[in-house]
Copies of this chain bind each other. A is one copy, B any other.
């Protein structure tokens, strides 16, 4: 059934020439992103799969990619990185071998061994929150792209969320809604090994820049750092709202902070968004969509990072990977809390 689909049909469906389809299938670099996406979508829509035999004739060794994560389980919404990676792999008739090390270094090494045994053609290494990482040993010579993480020495390509613009846009959205005093309950974490520093520092810089660009003075009494227990999130909200000159909008470091912020505001008799606007971060669907009123928040680009990582691997097959560092936007998801 799928064998009957021709390059011509894909070209027609994608509204491009057959040469373009051929180039995408052979990972030729001279294809625009827009056309490559249309062809990938057509390939997915038509269930086209070049036969394994044909692949081997073209010299494609295994058709496998390794996907190694540190810990999907503790931040399950980040599985969208896997979905994004899978969708692009699929369009290229590549199969993703997924291994979740659970943060265990020995497991990660063992996974790398399996990937090598199976002759994967490339690796996506994904962290479940944005941070610097050390790669497990054994990846030398294997094309590797980092998603939601990066090497301190920047020697491998990586794709991460643009924390700065996320913080900027959240703050700017509050200002655009008429708020001049915008509180910020930023994240904090005692353990430097797991502290989400790029998020903490990037979003704070964005917050400050947005204030500056709108002529609002930075007031450090409005900025809090929460170690992210429900009790601390609640306490910071209560303390901010009982200042002599309290904020009228609260930008929360993540949706869980916002959830506790809602409780603290309710206890003070303050309504969202009438009395206080609230903006979250992460867009965890269960929380953001489940709160009353539904939470306006910033989308972490998990799906897009997964896509980008595999696209970069596929677009550079057989070549050394240039260590580009890409930051993808965190768009505002507007619901009802501002």
Chain A, range 224-274, C-beta contacts under 8 Å to B: 230-231, 234, 255-256, 259-260, 262-263, 266-267
Which residue of B is nearest A78, CB measured? Answer: B76
Interface string of A90-128 (1 = CB under 8 A from B): 100101111110100011011001100110000000000
Q: A106 touches which one: B47, B109, B230, B291 (CB < 8 A)?
A: B47
Q: Name the distance in Å between A280's Cβ and chain B's nearest Cβ.
A: 12
Interface string of A72-97 (1 = CB under 8 A from B): 11101101101100100010010111
Interface string of A305-336 (1 = CB under 8 A from B): 00000000000000000000000000000000
Chain A, range 1-60, C-beta contacts under 8 Å to B: 2, 44, 47, 49, 52
CA gap between A74 and B2 in the complex, in Å:
29
CA gap between A78 and B93 in the complex, in Å:
26
A287 located at the interface, meaning its Cβ lies under 8 Å from any Cβ of chain B in the complex: yes
A292 located at the interface, meaning its Cβ lies under 8 Å from any Cβ of chain B in the complex: yes
Q: A110 touches which one: B47, B231, B284 (CB < 8 A)?
A: B47
Q: Across the interface, do B49 and A114 meet the contact criterion of CB distance under 8 Å?
A: yes
The 23 sampled A-B contact pairs (Cβ below 8 Å) are A2-B110, A2-B113, A44-B107, A47-B107, A47-B110, A72-B79, A73-B79, A73-B80, A74-B285, A79-B79, A82-B98, A86-B100, A95-B114, A96-B98, A97-B97, A230-B289, A231-B292, A255-B286, A256-B290, A262-B263, A266-B267, A286-B286, A286-B287
By a beta-carbon cutoff of 8 Å, the part of chain A in contact with chain B is 2, 44, 47, 49, 52, 72-74, 76-77, 79-80, 82-83, 86, 90, 93, 95-100, 102, 106-107, 109-110, 113-114, 117-118, 230-231, 234, 255-256, 259-260, 262-263, 266-267, 284-287, 289-292, 294
A2-B110, A287-B290 are known; give 17 further A-B pairs, CB within 8 A: A47-B107, A74-B285, A76-B79, A76-B80, A79-B79, A82-B98, A83-B100, A83-B102, A90-B110, A95-B114, A95-B118, A98-B98, A230-B289, A230-B290, A259-B291, A262-B263, A284-B286
